Amino acid sequence: MIDQTNQAPLSIAIVTYGDVQRLQHFTAAYHAARAYTKSNVTVIANGVTDEYHNALSSLIDGVARSTLVRLSSNLGSQGGFERAMHEAYASNPGSPCLLLDDDNVVTGESIDLALSDLHTLGPLNVIAFAKRRRSASGMTDPPAKLPRSTFLNFDLGSAVMRRLRTLVDVPSQAPTSLVPVHYAPYGGLLLSADSLKTLLTVSAPTYVVYEDDIFLTSALVDRGYSVWYSGRSHVEDLTEVWHDPAGKKAGRLKTLALGAPGFRSFYYVRNRAHFEKHHWRTGRARYKTNKVLVLAYITLMAFRAGNFKQWSFLIKAISAGERSRLGVDPSYPLP
């Protein structure tokens, strides 16, 4: 039986990895989470170096309402957050859980607003915090509202509508309240106690990194839950610039086509191809249209630049995903 006498109203779980170079951002994220005194904070050290683990231990060990769990190897975001959810449920089984990346800084005001929204909506709901980046002058990310049957996150109908909005100069504004979405990332995801318990029973494909959070949150929607993007609760993302196409949104396909092979690009393309073919596709014609257009665009851009190696790399990653060749790829081990 679980001892519930020391339960807090909220569990906060932070997943970190790598080496001591991540300590500065993690420290900011950890202290912000600790500042919310109505929470227990669990830190998952996902295959970190000994030096980084020692630094984490010095910061966390012996601190009230804080727990450090070290994984012997890097299990990717999928394994790290899966362990985080198990630890949160074991220590606080009847409480909601807020998942954070190690560069996400959250305020108590945002947490209180999200908990209030979650209480109003009920147990079959999940809140996805907006992201604010310093490099974006405080702008929030728009919610993901792409329809089914996309290919590498592209949909022709949606692209046409975005273009028409641009031509008629319709401003795009971030929502200031709750907007229903199909799925959401781990960082800034507030799970109700009920949804947390359900996620622990979901059998997910072994994506390792990238799209595992998209699969799990879309699985919640398929099971009758609702995922809400909150325009008034936010986390600050301290990573100001992604140096890899897997982290970009604007011009992602072009960046992929002109880039170079790498583990981030491989897992993003492979996993997205798998998710869209095997879990997100509902209309074959729409899916095939989007796929043909994406492949034609990638081929054109890569060949114009003479980037034949990257084109071959992308085709192999897509093929691996469509054929369900998942797990850690020997050619692209995790750092």
Q: What is the pLDDT of residue 172?
A: 57
Give the range among 139-148, 175-184, 265-274 with minimum mean pLDDT. Answer: 139-148
Q: What is the pLDDT of residue 131?
A: 87
Residue 181 sits at the vertex; the CA angle it makes with 179 and 183, to the nearest 5 degrees, is 145
**Greater pLDDT, 230 or 177:** 230
* E strand intervals along 8-83: 10-17, 39-46, 66-71
Average pLDDT (268-292) is: 96
Q: What is the pLDDT of residue 243?
A: 41
Q: How confident is the model at residue 169 (pLDDT cuts 50, 70, 90)?
A: low
Instruction: For residues 152 and 290, give the distance between their C-alpha atoms in angstroms, rounded to a whole number.
Output: 9
* Amino acid present at 107: T
Q: What is the pLDDT of residue 176?
A: 64
pLDDT digits (tens, 9 = 90+) for 60-77: 999 999 999 999 999 999
Instruction: For residues 196 and 190, give the distance between their C-alpha atoms in angstroms, rounded to a whole number.
Output: 9
Instruction: For residues 191 and 92, give the distance between their C-alpha atoms in angstroms, rounded to a whole number.
Output: 12
Q: Does 250 have pLDDT greater than 70?
A: no
C-alpha to C-alpha distances, 106 to 56, 66, 294, nearest whole angstrom: 19, 16, 37
Give kind and range of the element (H or E) at residue 243: none
CATH 3.90.550.10 fits 10-139+174-237, yes or no: yes
Average pLDDT (252-274) is: 95
Instruction: For residues 283 and 270, give the distance between their C-alpha atoms in angstroms, rounded to a whole number.
Output: 21
Q: What is the pLDDT of residue 5?
A: 45
Nearest Cα to Cα of residue 65 among 2, 115, 113, 10: 10
Q: Does 4 have pLDDT greater than 50?
A: no
Q: Does 206 have pLDDT greater than 90?
A: yes
Domain ranges of the chain: 10-139+174-237, 148-173+242-329
pLDDT digits (tens, 9 = 90+) for 40-64: 999 999 999 999 999 999 999 999 9
Q: What is the mean pLDDT of the chain?
A: 90
pLDDT digits (tens, 9 = 90+) for 80-133: 999 999 999 999 889 999 999 999 999 999 999 999 999 999 999 999 999 887
Q: What is the pLDDT of residue 7?
A: 57
Cβ neighbours of 304 (radius 10 Å): 10
Q: Does 276 have pLDDT greater than 60?
A: yes
pLDDT digits (tens, 9 = 90+) for 135-164: 555 545 555 567 899 999 999 988 888 778
pLDDT digits (tens, 9 = 90+) for 20-37: 999 999 999 999 999 999
Q: Does 167 have pLDDT greater than 60?
A: yes
pLDDT > 90 fraction of the chain, expressed in percent and rounded: 78
